[in-house]
Structure formats: structure tokens, C-alpha cells
Structure 1
Amino acid sequence: MRPISYSRASDVTGAIATVTADPTSDFLAGGTTEIDLLRQNVLQPRRLVDINDLPLTQIEDRPDGGVYIGAVARMSDVAEAPGVRERFPMLAEALVLGASAQLRHMATMGGNMMQRVRCGYFRDAVSPCNKRDPGSGCSAIDGFNRGHAVLGAGDSCIATHPSDVAVALMALEARIHTEGASGRRVYAIDDFFLLPGDTPHLEHPLEHGELIVGIEVPYTPVAGNALYLKVRDRESYEFALASVAVGVTISDGVIRDARLALGGVATKPWRARRAEEILRGATADRETFVRAAREELAAARTTPLNEFKVELAQRTMVRALETLTSPERPS
């Protein structure tokens, strides 16, 4: 048995100072993933600093139409917030589809941004894994990798990022606010999630003791005509095989703007920028959608077990775009 010290923080400054001073410490929020990893001996901190009492639960509508979400706000509360449901429907949908009701009541928004991958080799605490033990190798590349990434993958890691809400936030160009020993920082969400590259054990650019304090979602007209579509092995609580967060604005049958992000197929929430380029200024029809989806997945790197994800992701993108631009869709 490994002894773990536990303390409960009452203010942000104190929480940051406690964790920063001890390289073996970590923050604890909802614990819906972290506790599992502790039990599996994947994470081995000697101290946990509980941040659930910190005043970071706000869900604030901004005058410009955006929303600011505190890091300790529960996923269920954010999904039900009127401002989120009305102005950012894809965000509300991703939250509801991302976890069971019980988990949504516990899980925090900041914790969701920090959740670790669902790769079985990472979680068994025994198999070689570059995320857990840098330089040891990636067991998934030649192992069972049906659910693994086809975009952003490399020789060091092919684990798929598991978050749903991060995919919607990627499409919405959210910004992650942090506090740490170096002061306050604001990260563009695409910069907050790192590709594995040669350092797969580094998933975020955060310093030790740097704490997510909030998530800023700026207003964009695209967010009003948007949806989140998730494809999985079963309809009940399950991780995505492929998902897409998409929003578009259309005038006279032409796509004026588009935002797309993919989940379930990449090593990080994947902004589909190539697809967006093809869609902007193009006619909103199936031919355009198919071309955009095909071009976005052209760089996919597959294995015999997960190569089906390329076509699945393409079909999911096309279906989402057709649903969103259908004349029968309620305004």
C-alpha cells in the first residue's frame, strides 16, 4: 500500500503554492478518472490537494455573447445552463453525450481538459508505454488498437484523446485560463493540447502546479447553427469511435463560415482546418461535404484494426453537415 497525503484547499493561491512546492503532488477535482488511475498504479502522487471548495464554479454570460466557465463547474451544470444551451448547443450536446448522468454530476470542466487517454496499455501499469514511461515503447502500435488514433499519431504514441466536450471547445476556439507560480496565462485551446511527437508523456504545456481556473468560450455566429454528432459501439455511455463538432453559417446556399473538430480519431481534439477551407465559399451540398471529409482524412495513419475509422470519420462528417444544412432542420 502506498501512503498518500490529502489536504483540502480553500483558496486558489494556497492550492497552487502547495502543489508547486511538492513535485510529487497533484490537484484533485471530481476524481472520476484520477481515482481510477491511482487504483491502477498508473499515477503515483504522494500528495493530493482537493480543489472542490475553490470559488471556481461560475458559469457567466459575457456581454459579447460568450460564456466564462469556472474550472470546478460540474459538467451537468454547464450542460443545463441556459446561456450554453441557447448560444452553444454543440457544447451542451457534447457534455450530455460525454458521460453518464452520475459522472456528469461529479466531473469538472477543468478536470475534463486534463483527463488522460483510455489506452489499455497506458492503464495496465505493466506494458511498455511512452506516456507512462518515456522511452519504453508503445505497445499499442503492434497490439490491439481498434480504438486508437488515425490522425496526429506517430511512432511514439497512437492513443486517442477521450474527451467529447474538448472537441466542441476546439471548434468554438475556446481559451483555457490558468494560474500558477508564473502568474495568469491564457492558452488557445489548440495550443493547450499537445501532439505526442517525441514527448508523448507531455500532453499539455502546463508547469507543475499550474491550475486551470476557467474556460472562456467566445461568441461566434457559427455556434448558433451547430451540433455534436457522436458514433460509438453502443448508444449508452461509451467513448467515441468518431465524433464531429460542427457549426456553419449559410447564405443563398453558400457556406460563409464553418467550424469543425473531430473526436475519437486523433491523439488530441482535432481541428479540421483543411475541411473548413474547402467548405468556406462552397455550395452546401453533399459533393462539397464528401470532398471536405476526404481531404481532412487524407493524412490518416492507420493499422489493420483501426483503418475503418477513416471511412467512419468521413461518413460522420458528411452526416453532420447534411443534418445541419437540411431545409427541414428547425431554425
Structure 2
Amino acid sequence: MARKEEPLQMRIGEAKQRDVGKKRARIGPEAMDFLRVTPGDIIEVMGSRTSCAVVWPVDEDEKFPDIIRIDGQTRKNVGGSLNDFVKIRRVTSKFAKAVSLTPVNDSVTVDKEFTDFVKNRLKGLPITHGDEISVMILGNSMDFKITKTSPKGVVKIDRSTNLSISTESTVDRKVRVTYEEVGGLRNEVKAMREIVELPLKHPELFTRLGIEPHSGILLYGPPGCGKTLLAKVMASESEANMFSINGPEIMNKYYGETEAKLREIFKEAKDNSPSIIFIDEIDAIAPKREEAYGDVEKRVVAQLLALMDGLNDRGNVIVLGATNRPDSVD
């Protein structure tokens, strides 16, 4: 009976941009020696879930020997986030006889040409049952979930693999954007991780310490600076559901309609927590009350404040507001 490889505990780090979507795991020479692996070998990465990746050496300027650098999709497949601990060990892969894929949130028309295209894109990559993988199609990324592999375990697709793609898609409200897709904004991402991602992923810490997490965060800056992208990244990396509200669109001329919509969205977010409610152009629904033109705006501001900071428990829900006019917000 073969001896099972002893796992090594490492800490998750952000992947290099050139490694995104390639199932690479960059580890240091000490870790490679411990696992007895060389570049190109396959390792199993075990967090709250288990996935696999291809071993790749770290850059020469890497300062942290205990870091494993994996991209956002691999982090999602192992159920981990940056700085979480995972265990890794060497595994052997087999060539797959059959693999079944299901599109995520996208319905596709499947024919032999499309199947062969996807198969060529995935050829040589290690995969396991339950993984999500991305395929670039005409410049857009399409996500698939691996619903079946034969044989089980870590497999690779080759020319002889029978690949089948379902025409029905799975529905997932979770946004798919990773830290690697944000250019710059390092300080902002670091701050947002502390005040958004931490309470969403580890609410038990705040409960044990008796600390109330932030109820809302205001993102402000000129159009196109990355406010919406930051909100999407936070929802994706914390595996939270995201509910979007466009300020001007939710306003309604009929009495009580706008407030009712807000209550409904907050209730749905609480029922599907952890959740992030993103309010774009928040200055349209929460202007300064002393400057508001009518009673509608004043009632909406009062309702929003009650939902965010009222006596009723809002659950594991964080509100992000975005505006390019911060001085106009109540």
C-alpha cells in the first residue's frame, strides 16, 4: 500500500497577474523540497474544500517562504481567502476518460465545435469534481462547474477524453471578480478587506469580542476610479451575495413605494447572508435632509438609516454606497 504524502501547511498569497487562470501554485524551494515536487508536478490544496494546482517556483524576490500564491478562482475552489491557511501535498493525476461541465449563470448553445474549443482550452490542466474553471471565449470569460469526472480524483483532459457540456446553467448570485483584476488601489483594498471581508467571513470573531462591525461604508471618487469594481471584489472574495441598487432608478413618485423596495432588498439580503448591498449614486436617495426638495427624499433617508442602524438586527449584511458627490450625502 502506498504511503500517503505528508501535507504541508502554507498561507495563501495573491497570485501574479501572469498566472491568473492557469491553475498555477507558486511555492518556495523549501516547500518544494519538503513535498518532493518539481515544477509541473500536481499538488492537492486543502482548505474548507479541496482542489488541485500545478507547482510553479516563486520569483527570486519572494520574501515569504510560507506563502502559496494561487489565483482567485483556485482560492474559491479551496474555500479560502488571502492569508488563510491551507494544507498542500503531492498527488498524482490520471487522464480523464469522461468529464461533464455545467455553465455557471450562462446558457450556451452546445455543438461539437464549441465542445472541441473548450476541450482544447482545458487540455493539460488538472481538475477535480466540484471545481469551477474559466474559459476565455471571444475575449470574455465563461465559467463552468465540473459536475462529473471519470475516474474520480485529480484528472487531466487529453485528446481521448469524452467532454460533455450541459445546455442548462446553474444559477449563482455570487459575483466573480478577484483581487488580481484590480489594478492599483492597494491601500484601498487593504482597508476594505479589514472592514468588509473580515466581518463577512468571520462574524464569530466580532460576536465573541462583542464588537459591532461597520454597518456601511461610503466609496467616493470621480467616475471610473474603481468604486463599483471594489464592491464586486469584496463580494466575490468574501463569497457573499451581492444586491445592487441604482439610486435614481429606485426612486418612485408614489407614496411609500421607494421605502417598500428598500425594505424588500434588505430583507432578501438578510435572508441570503452573508450579503453586500451596493447602492450606486447614493446621493440620489440619501441627500442632505435640510437640502432635500420634497418629503419623499426625507422619508427615504430616514428609512435607509433605520434599516442600517435601527434596532432590528440586519444580520450579516454590509452596505456599500458609492458617489462622486460625498458632500451631498446626508
TM-score norm. by structure 1 comes to 0.28
Asked which structure has the greater CA Rg, the reply is 2
Indicate the structure with greater strand content: 2
